Amino acid sequence: MHSLVITKWEFKNTLSSKKFITIFLLQVSILILMIIFFNSFMGNIEPGKNVALTPSLTGFASIDVVDNENLFEKQLNPDILKINRMNYSIAYNRFKNNKTTGLLIVPSDALEKIDRYETLNLSLFVNYNDPKRSVVKSEVDSASKSLSSIITNEWLKEISPENLTQPSVEQTEQGEPLPLQIINKVMIAILLFLPLFLFGNMVIDSIVGEKERKTAEILMAMPLSPSNIILGKSLAIIITIAFQVILWMIILLSAGFNIKNAILVYLLVILTSIPIIGITSMIAAYCKNYKEAGIGISFIYIGIVGFLVVPALAYLSGSTRASTISPMTLVMKLFSGETISTTDLVIPILIIIVVSLISYSISIQLFKRDDVVFGPRPSLFRLFFEFIGILSLIKYIKSKIL
Amino acid sequence: MKILSLAKKEAYDILNNRIYLLVVFVQIFIVLGAFGLALVSSIATDPELLDQFQVNTEFKVGLSEELEDSPLAHYLKDENLNLIYFKSPQDARASVGSEVIAAVDIKPSTQNISVEIDTTSIFYPVISQKINQALNNYNQAVKLQNSGLNETEIKKVENPINVTEIKINENDKADIALDNPYFVEIMYGFIVPFILLLPFFLASNIVTDSIVGERERKTFEVLLMTPLTSFMVVLGKIIPILLFSLIQSVAWIFLLNFLRVPIYNPFIIFTLIFFIGLGFIGVGVILSMLVDSTKEANSAITLVLVFATFILFVPLFVNIPYLNAILNLIPTVLIVKISSSPHIDPGLILEFIPTILLSLIIFAVAVKYFKHERAIRL
């Protein structure tokens, strides 16, 4: 009951803070920017083509093409190459003056040669001084293969039109390509879990702030136990996260993202926030000031993000055994509409419960100690030895000997 | 002289701050990690490189036993695919996604080919490429056989285009860690600008820490009482931070060169990142004026840096033709062009103007706000 008083007080304070509202709105605008980026990226993916997570820099490398009959130029990829079609003398001078990475020379009588069934000999000058040479070579190679295939087919049509039957190829694909899964599933999962990491500063402000502002003494003097304080403060932040996640989910669903089992997904994300806030409270309870706590959560959050994301990526690449430990994997399975086994459900929830129990117990124990809250603060080693009972053992041995 | 004293004190603070030094150290791992990731992913998507590294045992393709020693099996083998034979085509198909990555079959009645492939496999792009190549070759061979041409004619029809590569400047060739298009695109197209701008993300934090920290420690008023103008105070604070960031960027340029990712036109890049840095630090100063505590400054700077990341890095991954004229002026796009080209068009320097102007405006606003802040505080 006392915890709820603290929760109400903290929550009211948060909502009445203009700065919190500003930060909250900025976070929403970041989400909208991410949605725009995501939609733009997905819009650029051509159906049936392999998806690669590479930059899409127009004109990254450059090539000049001497192609009087405009035979080859249209086969080159203008998304990667900056293609200039020009006459030989200008093109050669440009290439000599290092204005381009490559120079492709197509014979001036290319069409006549094709008509005469003669092989087309093309010259590709490549500037090896330029690191983008492999890009130019690869693009010319692809264009040459595709043009070769067109010419061969045309020749065969003319040589032997009656014998052109060839086996057809029918390709069936199983599942979603890995890069597309990474973009689709990981992106949605990251957007859903992101609010969980945006409130670390609030936890620090709420717990370390009491120490820095010297209000912890007043708080401790009130008829509240350390567990009331820690749990009450944490609950206020979990409620704030719950509001933010619901808002983000509404925005994502309105933007057309397909999130199946939305309620279960929501509950699991909120459930995951409980141990994260617990761990953050643990750091905040031990740290002396904002700076120290800030560094502490930066490192711990890297570990938590790793714990959530790495198994999720392992699940996408087909490894199923270890991937079940992460709640993010379960969330991905839920919003993709996959069948959930008991193991899929039990392991992450068990981890959430165990980590929550441990982290909140440690936070409460730390907040109970005057030396941790008011100083002089004991070192982490000392706390650890105390926890495993070594210090009591030493004391016992000393008392026996003396 | 007065500015120098303040700058020296700030530099001393930075160099004695273990957290900043730790962050610099962490950046080395980021550079090495990004380079390693680009290297591994380039190898994983290049069929020729994978053949060189002999990882083709993983490229398992299922066929029915009837197709053993068939021309189709030969064409698949020529692409270095690991063929696994099953009793029936149905068995092969049922193993896709578990035992094999793909199953290929020919219908005896029509001679049509069916391919079933698991797209979730990490090797899907390579296997798909290899199977397509094998099937194209097979189809072409069938077509040529049916055409009634003799062997010399077939050879000619098979290869209507012959591209001869003429290597120029081979003696002076760019020494790149992996001569592969994907590696070159991902390194120069994203990782190089990301690494070079990384220190400036830290710089914004140092600025807010320095200014807001002074206020929190109640030393800000003392600083403003010294015989220094607001401009001198701002300059004294930002010079060491800017230098600290620029030195890091230069160190990453050396590290990248050492890793055999040559960075071209370093002096021009240095000029560009100097102005980008000025902009970043200016934003840090403005934010410091708007917030009351380090905690608020940290939250605000995190959000601003997320916005900056969007503005600077999203243009590298999206292709919006009607915005190309603007996107080409984004500093990261300029860094890509300059760092990857041994010879740049001098006209490209003109494209720096918007970045320089914006940075100078941000810096001017920062100085003005600083003066305003001084008036309010005192």
> Which chain B residue is nearest to residue A205, measuring alpha carbons?
B295
Q: Which residue has the tokens 């934090």?
A: B205
Q: What is the mean pLDDT of residues B3-23?
A: 83
Q: What is the DSSP string of B168-184?
A: ESGGG----S---HHHH
End-to-end CA distance of chain A: 48
Q: B56-158: CATH homologous superfamily?
A: Periplasmic binding protein-like II (3.40.190.10)
Question: Considering only A30-34, A311-315, A326-330, B152-156, which range has the smallest mean pLDDT?
Answer: B152-156
Measured CA angle at A273 (ends A270, A276), to 5 deg: 170
Higher-confidence residue of B338 and B6: namely: B338
Considering only residues A48 and B341, tell me which one the structure prediction assigns the higher pLDDT. B341
Does residue A50 contact residue B126 with C-beta atoms inside 8 Å? no
Contact A35, B308 (CB under 8 A): no
Name which of A160, A166, A294 is nearest B142 (Cβ-Cβ).
A166
Six token digits for residue A61: 């490398």
The C-alpha atoms of residue A104 and residue A124 are separated, in whole angstroms, by 4
pLDDT at B377 over 50: no
Average pLDDT, chain A: 83
pLDDT: which is higher, A359 or A315: A359
Strands (DSSP E) found in chain B: 60-64, 82-86, 102-106, 113-118, 161-168
Neighbouring C-beta atoms of residue A334, cutoff 10 Å: 23
DSSP helix, strand, coil percent of chain B (3-state; round to 5): 70, 10, 20
Residue among B157, B148, B124, B107 nearest B50 (CA) = B124
Q: How far apart are CA A94 and CA A341, in angstroms?
A: 64
Lowest mean pLDDT, pick from A23-27, A74-78, A319-323: A319-323
- The confidence score (pLDDT) of residue A179 equals 66
Q: Give the start-to-end residue ranges of the domains of chain A.
A: 2-41+181-368, 61-161
d(CA B361, CA B278): 10
Instruction: Return the pLDDT at B372.
Output: 60
Q: Which residue has the tokens 């999130």?
A: A259
What's the residue count for chain B? Answer: 378
The answer to whether residues A351 and A289 touch, using CB atoms and an 8 Å cutoff, is no
Q: Is the pLDDT of residue B128 over 80?
A: yes
**A164/B182 Cβ within 8 A:** no
Beta-carbon contacts of residue A47 (< 8 Å; ≥ 6 apart): none
Q: Residue B195: which of B28, B14, B367 has the closest Cα?
A: B28
pLDDT tens-place string over residues B272-284: 999 999 999 999 9
Angle between helix A262-286 and helix A187-197 axes, rounded to 10 deg: 40
Cα A367–Cα A372–Cα A373 angle in degrees, nearest 5: 65
For A69-119, write each residue's pLDDT tens digit. Answer: 888 888 888 878 888 888 888 998 989 888 899 999 998 888 888 888 888
Average pLDDT over residues B30-52: 85
Instruction: For residue B85, report the phi and psi dihedrals to the nearest 5 degrees.
Output: -100, 140
- Looking at the complex, report in whole angstroms how far the Cα of residue A13 sits from the nearest Cα belonging to chain B: 15
With bands split at pLDDT 50, 70 and 90, how would you rate the model's confidence at B375?
Answer: very low
Q: What percent of chain A has pLDDT over 90?
A: 21
- Asked if pLDDT for residue B378 goes beyond 50, the answer is no
Which pLDDT does position A23 carry in this prediction?
74
Closest alpha carbon to A116 in B147, B156, B144: B156
Q: What are phi and psi of A121, to 5 degrees?
A: -100, 110
List the 78-97 stretch of B: residues with Cβ below 8 A of A.
96-97
Are A228 and A3 in contact by the 8 Å Cβ rule? The answer is yes
Q: For residue B141, how many other CB atoms are within 10 A of its CB?
A: 17
Cα dihedral value B6, B12, B14, B17, nearest 10 = -140
Which residues are registered as beta bridge partners of A140?
none
Average pLDDT estimate for A357-365: 92
Residue A352, phi then psi, degrees to nearest 5: -60, -45
Residue B189 C-alpha, separation from nearest chain A C-alpha, in angstroms: 6
Highest mean pLDDT among A44-58, A246-260, B116-130, B300-314: A246-260
Mean pLDDT rounded to a whole number for chain B: 85
| Comparison of pLDDT for A117 and A167, the residue scoring more | A117
Residue A164 pLDDT more than 70? Answer: no
**Closest residue in B to A178 (Cα–Cα):** B120
Q: Is B316 within 8 Å of chain A by CB?
A: yes
Between the alpha carbon of residue B246 and those of residues A150, B201, B274, B275, B354, the distances in Å are: 53, 12, 7, 11, 20
Q: Is the pLDDT of residue B119 over 50?
A: yes
In this prediction, residue A221 carries a pLDDT of 79
Winning range, highest mean pLDDT, from A142-151, B89-98, B240-249: B240-249
Q: What is the spatial distance between Cα A331 and Cα B236, in angstroms, rounded to a whole number?
A: 50
Average pLDDT estimate for B358-375: 80
Residues 99-158 of B with CB under 8 A from A: 106, 110-122, 124-125, 128-129, 135-136, 138-140, 142-144, 146-149, 156-158
* pLDDT category of residue A356 using cuts at 50, 70 and 90: very high
DSSP bridge pairs for A103: A64, A125
> pLDDT for B259-303, tens place per residue?
999 999 999 999 999 999 999 999 998 888 888 777 678 778 877
Residue A213 has pLDDT above 70, yes or no: yes
Query: Which of chain B's residues have a Cβ under 8 Å away from the Cβ of A336?
Result: none
Contacts of B98 in chain A (CB under 8 A): none
**In the predicted model, what is the mean pLDDT of residues B354-360?**
95
Q: Which residues of A touch B162 (CB under 8 A)?
A: 119-122
| Helix, strand, coil percentages in chain A from 3-state DSSP, rounded to 5 | 70, 5, 25
Six token digits for residue A304: 């938590």
Mapping DSSP to helix (H, G, I), strand (E, B) and coil, where does residue A166 land?
coil
Residue among B112, B174, B345 minimizing CB distance to A129:
B174
Q: What pLDDT, on the 0 to 100 scale, is given for residue B166?
A: 93
Asked whether the predicted pLDDT for residue A168 surpasses 80, the reply is no
Contact pairs from chain A to chain B, CB under 8 Å: 253
CA atoms within 13 A on the CB side of B97: 14
The Cα-based distances of A368 to A295, A365, B76 in angstroms read 23, 5, 70
Q: What is the pLDDT of residue A319?
A: 63
Dihedral, CA atoms, B192, B193, B197, B199, nearest 10 degrees? -10
For A320-333, give the DSSP string. Answer: -TGGGG-HHHHHHH
Mean local confidence (pLDDT), B48-72? 83
What pLDDT is recorded for position B250? 96
- Across the interface, of A114, A135, A177, the residue whose CB is closest to B181 is A135
DSSP for B314-334, please give it: GGGT---GGGHHHHTTSHHHH
Which amino acid, A31?
L
Q: How far is A277 from chain B (nearest CA, A)?
A: 17
Q: What percent of chain B has pLDDT over 90?
A: 27
Q: How far is B195 from chain A (nearest CA, A)?
A: 15
Q: Contacts of residue A84 in chain B, CB cutoff 8 Å? A: none
- Which of A74-88, A101-115, B155-169, B241-255 is the most confident on average? B241-255
For the ranges A317-331, B199-213, B221-235, the maximum mean pLDDT occurs at B199-213
Residues of B in contact with A80 (CB under 8 A): 185
**Residue A104 is inside which H or E element, if any?**
strand A102-105
**Domain chopping of chain B, boundaries:** 2-34+178-377, 56-158
Name the B residues in 198-257 with CB < 8 Å from any A CB.
none
Confidence of residue A227 (pLDDT cuts 50, 70, 90): confident
CA of A55 vs chain B CAs: smallest distance (Å): 5
The rounded distance, in Å, linking the Cα atoms of B261 and B253 is: 9
What is the distance of C-alpha B109 from the center of its chain?
Answer: 50
What's the CATH architecture for A61-161? 3-Layer(aba) Sandwich (3.40)
